[in-house]
Amino acid sequence: MRENHVLAGRYQLLEKIGSGGMADVFHAHDLVLKRDVAIKILKNQFTDDAQFVNRFRQEAQAAARLNHPHIVAIYDVGQQDGCYYIVMEYVAGETLKDMISRRRSLPVAEALEITLQIAQALHFAHQNGLVHCDIKPANILIDRYGRVRVADFGIARAVSSATMAHTSSIVGSVHYLSPEQARGSLVDARSDIYSLGVALYEMLSGKLPFTGDSAVAIAVKHLQEEPRPLADHVHLPQFVEAIVDRALTKDVIYRYQSVEQLTADAEKALQLLRQGKTAVGAEELPTQFISGVRHNTMVIDRRQFKSQKTAAAGVEQNGDGRRGRFRWLILAGLLLLLLAGFGTGMYLVYGNFWSARDVVVPDVVGKDATTAIAMLQSEKLNASISEQVNDKVKPGFVISQDPPAGSRVKEQRRITLYISKGAEATYVPDLRGLGKDEAVNMLTQAGLLLGRVSERESAGDKPGTVIDQSLRANSQTTKGTTVDIVISAASRMSVPDLRGLTVGDARQKLEGMKLKLGNVDEVPADSYPVGTVVTQKPLAGGEIPVGGTVDVAIARQAQPTVSRQTVVVVDVPAGGTARQTVQIVLTDNDGRRVVYDEVHKPGDHIEKTVQTAGTGKIQVFINGTLVQTQQI
């Protein structure tokens, strides 16, 4: 594809803004909806693989359903003459990769804030059953206001089966590949967490955890080697380094199990940094239970983390493995006996084994659901979610809670969170063929708003009627959404050149083209015969709707210019201020000009001879006030 090419009769390609192993990305303009978009066009070597193309379509369509403020919106998916493309939201800004290259590394707080925005996008995608599989700074867009958008949802998954046949296509992503992806195993949400950990490592240090001479060499390092400690590159609080360490754990069992867990730790770390803390005790930090193994993710360093993982797996690093497993069996048996005895009864009484501690319910109203749940969990409380329609609170945020904030309850109490589903759902009416007023009425009845109105010529459609709309008819949306419409414009034609024609001839020529003659004025003109057209509006060659009107100006008989001298007499009034500014202004056939401008005393007598051309007038101003007018 080349620049200025119009794809599918609608998208004009303006410039190439990116190129990867599988696709080129263009900045384009949607000629129908009059907006800038980004278009990813699949490269030719992939278009002949029917299985790949089918998965590409399915995944792209799945990604198009992801409507989230931190995910690049997908507007359209299609193909033309074997060219497969995805039309996406155009984000003016730069990629995270460009930002890191430009600044080398990012401050800790900024890196964590970017990570949290990416995590929000991933959480939403994971909830909708979609794993990104290609999280990397080049796929993270940051607009001019610092807001993050995650791009390329869907295509990475579609590509995964074809990349082994095109080794070069994975080079750009292999630095961020999870061990299970490198191994060819099944992937899940935890694979995205590993890739996000690599991106965070790079944001903080400006370095990649693994490099090599080839994609295979780097993939092997993901499988077998530990990354170089962040402390070797940059001085960080230990609890920040621990977040990266856990995200980069090779064994998925000991990695963060969900982005919510990573989010909770990152938010806690941000909170500590804003308080000016760089080292804290374990009692101030969240504790999580993963696969039955207790990890304080914020304080353990890499060596402690490895030893805990090894011990939790029932393997001793020094000594006989069988002896270690036998010891764990004995401990497990004793624990079962305790639970079978009095422990079970105490659990039934208190709901949290033998603990009956009271806690204060935190205020989570107005928080997003992920943050709210993390806040409850930090107080050892559980959450129950109930969704409600609400047009005042953003979708995914807490409307209210029960029990309310400040209540004292027992640990493990279930707190009901009422989460906003956004505005009430409605269906988009079919506006095609309606006039603008009728379309507005239909939108109002559906609880929708009229957005941008544009025009486009359309043969066979009645001028002034709707021929296209931004939201598909009968599709579901929320009330209060705006709908852009395109209205059929009247056919237009080129304006003829009427200069030199008489009024009668000009009228006849216009009527023959289904146009009308409008106002006729007269102007002085020496280069055109009297009574012929000198100028016109619109100008010749411009466009005008069929049946439109053209105004003209014709040459009039030139009047001979009479030159004469006129004496102007001015008496400055007595009793005024000491300085009286006197101006004489002449307006005649040569235009308007000041012919006298002097300062006088009260009572002065002035006589000024003025050379005039044709007819006009002479005006006298004293201190800016008009005092006399003389016709010539």
Query: How many angstroms separate the first and last alpha carbons of the chain?
Result: 71
Contacts 24+ apart (CB under 8 A), 278-284: 278/237, 279/237, 279/238, 280/239
Alpha-carbon span 618 to 566, nearest angstrom: 9
What is this structure's pTM?
0.48
Could you report the per-residue pLDDT of 6-20, keeping only the tens digit for each?
888 899 999 988 876
In CATH, what number does 563-631 get? 2.60.40.2560
Which residue would you say has higher pLDDT here, 373 or 142? 142
User: With 0-12 CB in 10 A as exposed, 13-18 as middle and 19+ as buried, what is 254?
Assistant: buried
Coil vs helix vs strand at 192:
helix
Alpha-carbon span 554 to 532, nearest angstrom: 5
| Closest alpha carbon to 578 in 540, 604, 611 | 604
Could you report the per-residue pLDDT of 485-531, keeping only the tens digit for each?
999 887 778 899 999 999 999 999 999 988 999 999 988 877 788 89
DSSP string over 443-489: HHHTT-EEEEEEEEE-TTSPTTBEEEESS-TT-EEETT-EEEEEEEE
Q: Is residue 342 over pLDDT 50?
A: no
Helix axes 238-247, 302-312, angle to 10 degrees: 40
| Closest alpha carbon to 194 in 210, 211, 205 | 210
Contacts 24+ apart (CB under 8 A), 369-377: 369/396, 369/397, 369/398, 369/417, 369/419, 370/120, 370/123, 370/260, 370/263, 371/263, 371/267, 372/398, 372/401, 372/417, 373/260, 373/417, 374/260, 374/263, 374/264, 374/267, 374/286, 376/415, 377/264, 377/286
Alpha-carbon span 623 to 621, nearest angstrom: 6
pLDDT at 23 (0 to 100): 78
pLDDT at 280 (0 to 100): 67
Written as six digits, the tokens of 67 are 């409507």
Q: Which of 96-105, 366-375, 425-434 has the highest mean pLDDT?
A: 96-105
- Residue 53: pLDDT band by 50, 70, 90 thresholds? confident
Check: CB of residue 614 under 8 Å from CB of residue 561: yes
Compute the Cα dihedral for 425, 426, 427, 431 and give only its sign.
Answer: negative
The mean pLDDT of 301-328, rounded to a whole number, is 41
Could you report the per-residue pLDDT of 388-432, keeping only the tens digit for each?
888 888 877 899 999 999 999 988 888 988 988 777 778 889 999
Coil vs helix vs strand at 98:
helix
Alpha-carbon span 301 to 229, nearest angstrom: 10
Eight-state DSSP code of residue 342: I
Which residue would you say has higher pLDDT here, 271 or 614? 271
In CATH, what number does 6-89 get? 3.30.200.20
| Closest alpha carbon to 75 in 40, 24, 114 | 40
| Closest alpha carbon to 384 in 393, 392, 372 | 372
> How many C-beta atoms surround the C-beta of residue 474 within 10 A?
9
CATH says 94-273 is which class?
mainly alpha
CA angle 345, 346, 348 (to 5 degrees): 65
Active site residues: 134
Residues of the chain with CATH 3.30.10.20: 358-420, 425-489, 492-556
Check: CB of residue 139 under 8 Å from CB of residue 111: no
The contacts of residue 315 (CB under 8 Å, 6+ apart) are 321, 324, 325
Q: Is residue 296 over pLDDT 80?
A: no
Alpha-carbon span 18 to 27, nearest angstrom: 9
The mean pLDDT of 346-373, rounded to a whole number, is 69
User: Any idea which fold 358-420 has?
Assistant: Trypsin Inhibitor V; Chain A (3.30.10)
User: Any idea which fold 492-556 has?
Assistant: Trypsin Inhibitor V; Chain A (3.30.10)
| Closest alpha carbon to 454 in 488, 492, 429 | 488
Backbone angles phi, psi at 407, to 5 degrees: -70, 150
- Beta pairing partners, 618: 586, 630
Could you report the per-residue pLDDT of 57-97, keeping only the tens digit for each?
766 776 777 888 899 988 888 888 778 888 988 998 899 99
Check: CB of residue 12 under 8 Å from CB of residue 6: yes
CA angle 257, 258, 263 (to 5 degrees): 120
pLDDT at 233 (0 to 100): 92
Check: CB of residue 200 under 8 Å from CB of residue 122: no
The contacts of residue 563 (CB under 8 Å, 6+ apart) are 611, 612, 613, 614
In CATH, what number does 425-489 get? 3.30.10.20
Please name the residue that has the structure tokens 């066009």. Answer: 41
Q: Is residue 56 over pLDDT 90?
A: no
- Residue 192: pLDDT band by 50, 70, 90 thresholds? very high
Q: Which of 147-151, 161-165, 201-205, 305-309 shows the lowest mean pLDDT across its residues?
A: 161-165
Residues of the chain with CATH 3.30.200.20: 6-89
Encoded amino acid at 326, one letter: F
Is the link from the previous residue into 403 a cis peptide, with omega within 30 of 0?
yes
Q: Is residue 579 over pLDDT 70?
A: yes
pLDDT at 58 (0 to 100): 67
